[in-house]
Amino acid sequence: MTASINKDGLLAGKVAVITGASRGIGEAIALRYAQEGAKVVVSARTVEEGDHPLPGSINGVVQRIADAGGEAHAVRADLAVGEDRDDLIREAVDTYGPVDILVNNAAITFFIPVADFPERRYKLMHEVQVYAPFHLSQLVLPSMIERKTGWIVNVSSHAALHPKVDAGGRGGTVYGMGKAALERFTTGLASEVYEDGVAVNVISPGLVATPGVIHHKLINESNKDRQTPVEHMAEACLRLSYSPASELSGRITYADDMMKEFSLEAAELLA
Interatomic CA distance for residues 15 and 56, integer angstroms: 22
| 9 inside domain | no
| 29 inside domain | yes
Q: What is the pLDDT of residues 18-32, one digit of tens each?
A: 999 999 999 999 999
Report strand pairing: 71-76 vs 101-104.
Answer: unpaired
The arrangement of strands across the sheet holding 39-44 comes to 71-76, 39-44, 15-19, 101-104, 150-155, 198-204, 252-254
**Which backbone phi and psi does 257 adopt, to 5 degrees?**
-65, -40
What pLDDT is stored for residue 214 in this prediction? 47
What pLDDT is stored for residue 215 in this prediction? 44
pTM of this prediction?
0.92
- For the chain, how are helix, strand and coil distributed in percent, rounded to 5? 45, 15, 40
Which parts of the chain sit beneath pLDDT 70? 1, 167-169, 207-226
Q: Annotated catalytic, 254?
A: no
Residue in 33, 131, 175, 254 annotated catalytic: 175
Residue 161: Cβ within 10 Å count: 13
Residue 240 three-state SS: coil
- Interhelix angle 173-193/119-126, nearest 10 degrees: 30
Report strand pairing: 101-104 vs 39-44.
Answer: unpaired
| 255 inside domain | yes
Buried b (16+ CB within 10 A) or exposed e, 26-51: bbbbbbbbbbbbbbbbbbbbbbeeeb
User: Which residues contact residue 202 at a Cβ distance below 8 angstroms, ignoring those fewer than 6 apart?
Assistant: 153, 154, 155, 156, 182, 183, 186, 187, 251, 252, 253
| 270 inside domain | no
| 87 inside domain | yes
Interatomic CA distance for residues 45 and 142, integer angstroms: 26
Q: What is the pLDDT of residues 180-206, one digit of tens each?
A: 999 999 999 999 999 999 999 999 997
| 10 inside domain | no
Number of domains into which the chain is organized: 1
What pLDDT is stored for residue 1 in this prediction? 60
Q: What residues form DSSP beta bridges with 72?
A: 40
CATH code assigned at 201: 3.40.50.720
| 57 inside domain | yes
Domain that holds residue 214: 15-261
What pLDDT is stored for residue 216 in this prediction? 45
